[in-house]
Amino acid sequence: MKPGIWRRIDLEDPLKFHNYHEFSSDLSALGQLLQTYVANAQSGEGKTITQEPMPSVAEALKLEQHIRHGGLKGEARHAFMEQYLDYTTRLHHPGYMAHQVAVTSPGTALGATISAVTNNGMNIYEMGPPASTIEFTIVNWLLGKIGWKEMPWPADMPAAAGAHGAGLLTHGGSLANLTALLGARAHAFPKFWSEGMGDVKPVILASATNHYSISRAAGIMGMGTRSVHHLPTLEFGVLDPDKVAAVYRQSVADGGTPFMLVANACATASGLYDPLTELAEVCKELDLWFHVDGAHGSAALAAPKLRHLLRGVELADSFICDLHKMFATNALCAAVLMKRAPDLFGTFQQDASYLFHEKDEPGFDFMPHTVECTKTAMGLRFFLVLAEMGEEGMADFITDLHEESTKIAATIRDTPGFSIPHMPESNIICFRYGDDCEQQVKLRTALTRDGRYHISTTLLEGKRYMRVVIMNPATRVSDIKDMLRRIETFAGET
Ligand SMILES: *Cc1c(COP(=O)(O)O)cnc(C)c1O
């Protein structure tokens, strides 16, 4: 390579790659392409999922050539994006029932575009005042829904001296859980942050049906995944509040120091909610921090008809919520919330740094209170959905998905050969064909190969089930009936 070659290019046209002259026409062509992509998917034509082996995808998309030669723009880029969409898994298709990731609406997609262009690295106010203000407002909206005190405007914070809740948005629920666990640990063991854990063996009490991000967080925090002690459960992995004290005592007898309890609202596998009020009472008696993992089931916060599922959540110390699951927002967008602001503000250092907020600061910096340094303007993507639907529209959207799920579960239950372990409390439904565990996996594989329906499987009380999550308002009972017929056919073939 000749020395200085990059510089010559730069001097020719320093804005060569930052030139937005054709952006509007590129974007309108992309808009047309995406509109067609979504319409095709929503019509239910064709497959939800196609999984070519990775080398074939790399080959078809000519990934290496494009990197080597560069120049992918204009019509060539358009053709690439078209092909990309051909190979992608289509969440807008009514057959999409495998995962808990939201089916996007145009508002959230437009928000992503603004965020993509402006690239305001949210976390300090000066990098994007509207994005920060939206994050602040959404956190307060969620705090209000839980029944916790909202954050005062930054100028009024010093006077409030932390007598309110607090929260922030994170890129995903796993990071939100990690933040909550760190907050709980800092509350119980303030010196750990600087001094390490020494001989202390902190213990987290949780059900075996917890999301894996809890034990992963325990591993990341250096406590070891074995610091998560499993609690006895009622049927289908729902926590039994009456059995907590015995496990607590055993953990202490074994030399551990239990400091928190994690409840599911709802559990990822079964979609069932733990009894929060009763668990909160036990936590109070045993002086345990009470964390509620509402990554999926926080939907009930926004739907009055479902709010009873989260009864007692206001008694928790911390709560997380994935807006990119039930709230129709594109990934990633999650929130971690704490009842007492000083707990969040003290998570990453011992000082209660809310005191450092000068009255004349125009905004609020989330940065001192998060794992992340740079964040996208993720609140905007949620705000544009919520502001289009309004609170009532959001409530209807979530309630409809739940009501359709109840009908779907009843349909499966009443179809000969199929069974469900329990009626759903959320939009997550487990079911089986026959009672052979291995066959459930085989049937799911056959279904995925067929491609029209994309579902998952899960273990519940040691048994394998097929599992659907009704995330898509386009998924109706008629789709399920067709899927069950296909499963029966595949079962006949295996
Ligand atoms: C999805 C989920 C998580 C993890 O959230 P991500 O946003 O995928 O990181 C944590 N807990 C529960 C209960 C979940 O359902």
Closest ligand 1 atom to residue 100 Cα is 1
From 100, 220, 264, 268, the mutation candidate for ligand 1 (largest count of ligand atoms within 8 A of CB) is 268
Closest ligand 1 atom to residue 296 Cα is 15
Q: Check residue 238 and report its DSSP letter.
A: -
Question: What is the distance in A from the centroid of ligand 1 to the CA of 178?
Answer: 11
Name the token pair of 177.
Answer: 């859980």
- Nearest to 410, CA basis, from 383, 431, 394: 431
Q: What is the pLDDT of residue 9?
A: 56
Q: How far apart are CA 321 and CA 299, in angstroms?
A: 8
Mean pLDDT for the stretch of residues 449-466 = 96
CB 44 within 8 A of CB 479: yes
pLDDT digits (tens, 9 = 90+) for 210-224: 999 999 999 999 999
Q: How far apart are CA 175 and CA 413, in angstroms?
A: 37
Closest ligand 1 atom to residue 175 Cα is 9
From 99, 101, 213, the mutation candidate for ligand 1 (largest count of ligand atoms within 8 A of CB) is 213
Question: What is the distance in A from the centroid of ligand 1 to the CA of 100?
Answer: 9
Question: What is the distance in A from the centroid of ligand 1 to the CA of 473?
Answer: 21
- pTM of structure: 0.95
Question: What is the distance in A from the centroid of ligand 1 to the CA of 325?
Answer: 9
The rounded radius of gyration (Å) of the Cα atoms in the chain is 25
Please, which pLDDT band fits residue 15 given cuts at 50, 70 and 90?
A: confident
- Percentage of the chain exceeding pLDDT 70: 95
Question: What is the distance in A from the centroid of ligand 1 to the CA of 198?
Answer: 31
Question: What is the distance in A from the centroid of ligand 1 to the CA of 333?
Answer: 11
Mean pLDDT for the stretch of residues 11-15 = 76
3 state SS of 145:
helix
Listing DSSP states for 312-333 in one string gives TGGG-SEEEEEHHHHT--PSS-
Question: What is the distance in A from the centroid of ligand 1 to the CA of 437?
Answer: 25
Question: What is the distance in A from the centroid of ligand 1 to the CA of 163?
Answer: 29
Question: What is the distance in A from the centroid of ligand 1 to the CA of 492?
Answer: 36
pLDDT digits (tens, 9 = 90+) for 32-73: 999 999 999 999 999 999 999 999 999 999 999 999 999 999
Closest ligand 1 atom to residue 210 Cα is 13
Please, which pLDDT band fits residue 357 given cuts at 50, 70 and 90?
A: low
Name the token pair of 65.
Answer: 């050539």
Closest ligand 1 atom to residue 264 Cα is 13
Residue of the nearest CA to atom 14 in ligand 1? 295
From 171, 211, 239, 336, the mutation candidate for ligand 1 (largest count of ligand atoms within 8 A of CB) is 211
Q: How far apart are CA 233 and CA 226, in angstroms?
A: 18
| Residues with a CB atom less than 6 Å from ligand 1 | 100, 172-174, 177, 211, 213, 264, 268, 293, 295-296, 322, 334
CA 290-178-98 angle, 5° bins: 95
b or e along 316-349 (b: 16 or more beta carbons within 10 Å of the residue's beta carbon)?
Answer: bbbbbbbbbbbbbbbbbbbbbbbbbbbbbbbbbe
Question: What is the distance in A from the centroid of ligand 1 to the CA of 17?
Answer: 37
Closest ligand 1 atom to residue 332 Cα is 7
Closest ligand 1 atom to residue 334 Cα is 7
Residue of the nearest CA to atom 5 in ligand 1? 173
* pLDDT averaged over every residue in the chain: 94
Please, which pLDDT band fits residue 8 given cuts at 50, 70 and 90?
A: low
Is omega for the bond preceding 239 within 30 degrees of 0, making it cis?
A: no
Q: How far apart are CA 289 and CA 280, in angstroms?
A: 9
Question: What is the distance in A from the centroid of ligand 1 to the CA of 211?
Answer: 7
Q: Is 203 exposed, middle or buried (0-12, 13-18, 19+ CB in 10 A)?
A: buried
Q: What is the pLDDT of residue 351?
A: 56
pLDDT digits (tens, 9 = 90+) for 252-299: 999 999 999 999 999 999 999 999 999 999 999 999 999 999 999 999
